[in-house]
Chain A
Amino acid sequence: MKRFASKIKWSKYTQLLKTKWSKYTQLLKTKWSKYTQLLKTKWSKYAQLLKAKGRKHAQLLVPLLSILLIAVFNLLRDPSFFSVEISKNNLDNPVLTGNLISILNGASELAVISMGMTLVTAACGGQDISVGALGTIAASVFVKILRDGQITAGTIVLAFLACCAAAMVFGAFNGTLVSVFKIQPMIATLVLFTCGRSVAYWINGGATPTIESPLINAVGSFIPGCPVPTPILIVIAVGLLLGALLRFTTLGLYTQTVGINQRAARLNGINPTLIKLASFLVLGLCCAVAGCISASRLGLINHETMLQEIEMDAILAVAIGGNALGGGKFRITGSVLGAYAIQALTITLYAMKVPSTDVKAYKAIVIIIIVVISSPVVKQAISRLWAKVKENSQKKKEVAA
């Protein structure tokens, strides 16, 4: 009897437990499904956002890929390529050294010029081939003023402002030919490309004038106590300034609009002439900065070799950066990354001790690869291939179901 009673009690308990359990599981299930639902919607939102962002950043894929390519190649070749050290220079200042620093430092002029080149390309659908000559003229003005007086912080600032003004005058000359007279940018800038270096020579009147001062050293190589090369800091400053200009004004949007459709831009109240001119003025300023960096590096200006062939490298940087060379959409970050990719390639070739006679050929091969990969034909083929792979996997899933 006692045993029976206990059995009943037991069954009651189990019953209770069962109902309670089922309740809990029910609750859990509903909650779970709610959570998963939430997660799913959230996830899809994130995915959407990611996709949108990806599309926005897809342009940077090529320059990043090319930098990655060069980096992986160097990693396989010699991992010590990437070592960065702090050592003391001959003036007893701590300085950073290493190939990475050489790349960042050496590409400074190219990075600054390719920023301006991107704007001109976007607005005018063409390139300025006089940037090397223009930078040399600006540097020549810089050197001329410093040689005429004593070199102090004040005169350096004055010389820099004067050289900016000179560069803007010549930039306006190019810009007027392009925007007002509607001459193809490459033909318009051919004028300055041809005579610019002679103009630079006339300004100084000597073949390789020098300027020597610890202050010039600070501009061109290292500020005492700061281990980062000054040109790198200058590039960051210029990048921030230009970034702010595009972010907080409508210049970027207008430039893009003019580049895509000049007539539509005009109908919307944008003055294409003004925008094109503005892009050349900005490029002029960039050239002035590059020229000052270049002249300060060694405290010397050689009118024939300064910023040699930089116009071609700058155009290449813009192209590697994924910008349409026919104008329109642009990303300055892409061009800057492109500039660093080009410099990384050069430094890699130096580190590999490629014979002097072969350097240009090797450079050409790598550039062909990068440019072909980023060409629309290859891009389309890849996206088509990707779509096919996706389709196939979906089919397989369906068959399995």
Chain B
Amino acid sequence: MHSLKAVTPLGASAPVVDEINGFTMREVVDRALVSVAARKGQDKAVAKILAKLIDAPTPQAGHFGGAMTKSKSAAIWMAPAQWMLDAPMKSRDDITTSLAAEFGGKASLTDQSDAWCRFEITGPQIDRLCSLLCAVDPRRLTAGCATRSSIEHIGAFLVRLGRTKLHVIGPRSSAASLHHAITTAMTSSVY
């Protein structure tokens, strides 16, 4: 076991939690993300392997499939023939190695776990919060949807896990700016 200590995207030793106006926002650090891009001509084969891994149909554009729970994996549609596999973070060192065996050279795999920060937001007024954050129509961002938008000039993914639960995934280096934008909107969203 190595001696280095990880920090969260916000630079803390434990996930930062904010509770504002009935919202709870928590830094998510226990999920691994791996980009899965099908090699030429392997779209269907890769989709099939992915479906098996997430135990659900491979998601179409604008959606995710599977479950983001402690023991289950999910896949977020990114582009034609490209998904982001979201898996429980066990040891980040083995995930691409074990996945490489699963995909057998049919997909290009790139570990993206550390490229992103992720905030889980829960609360009854997620739609209102969305309205202050980005141009996505919250009426269409229903459970199972995953889409890309811009939050205060930061490119981010919005993953709707349920009526009261949303994941915002943004670039790790801008975690503080994204955190500021979301907490500000939470404070301001009493209207």
Q: Do A and B interact?
A: no
- Give residues in B with beta carbon < 8 Å to A: none
- Give residues in A with beta carbon < 8 Å to B: none
